[in-house]
Amino acid sequence: MTVKLKRICVFTGSREGSRAVYREAARNLGETLSGRGIGVVYGGGHIGLMGVLADAALEGGGEVIGVIPQGIVDLEVAHEGVTELRIVKTMHERKAQMADLSDGFIVLPGGLGTLEEMMEIISWVYLRFISKPIGLLNVEGYFDPLLSFFRHAAGEGFMPESYDKLFTVGENSDLLISGMEGYSPPDGALVRGFDTI
Burial of 5 (0-12, 13-18, 19+ CB in 10 A): buried
Q: How far apart are CA 82 and CA 51, in angstroms?
A: 10
Q: Which of 17, 43, 51, 66 binds ligand AMP (CB under 6 A)?
A: 43
Rounded to the nearest whole angstrom, what is the least distance from the CB of residue 66 to ligand AMP in the complex?
A: 10
Q: Which of 111, 162, 184, 190 binds ligand AMP (CB under 6 A)?
A: 111
φ/ψ region of 129 (left if φ > 0, alpha if ψ in -120 to 50, else beta) reads alpha
Q: Report 10-29 residues binding ligand AMP (CB under 6 A).
A: 13-15
Q: Report 157-186 residues binding ligand AMP (CB under 6 A).
A: none
Q: Which of 73, 85, 87, 91 binds ligand AMP (CB under 6 A)?
A: 91
Which residue lies nearer to ligand AMP by CB, 14 or 173? 14
Q: Report 133-152 residues binding ligand AMP (CB under 6 A).
A: none
Rounded to the nearest whole angstrom, what is the least distance from the CB of residue 113 to ligand AMP in the complex?
A: 2
Q: Report 59-88 residues binding ligand AMP (CB under 6 A).
A: 72, 76
Sorted by sequence, the CB contacts under 8 Å of residue 79 that are 6+ apart come out as: 44, 45, 46, 51, 54, 64, 66, 85
Answer yes or no whether residue 45 interacts with ligand AMP by CB under 6 A: yes
Rounded to the nearest whole angstrom, what is the least distance from the CB of residue 16 to ligand AMP in the complex?
A: 10
Which residue lies nearer to ligand AMP by CB, 114 or 197? 114
Sorted by sequence, the CB contacts under 8 Å of residue 137 that are 6+ apart come out as: 25, 29, 106, 107, 108, 109, 170, 171, 173, 176
Given the rule CB under 6 A, which residues bind ligand AMP? 13-15, 43, 45, 48, 72, 76, 91, 94-95, 110-114, 116-117
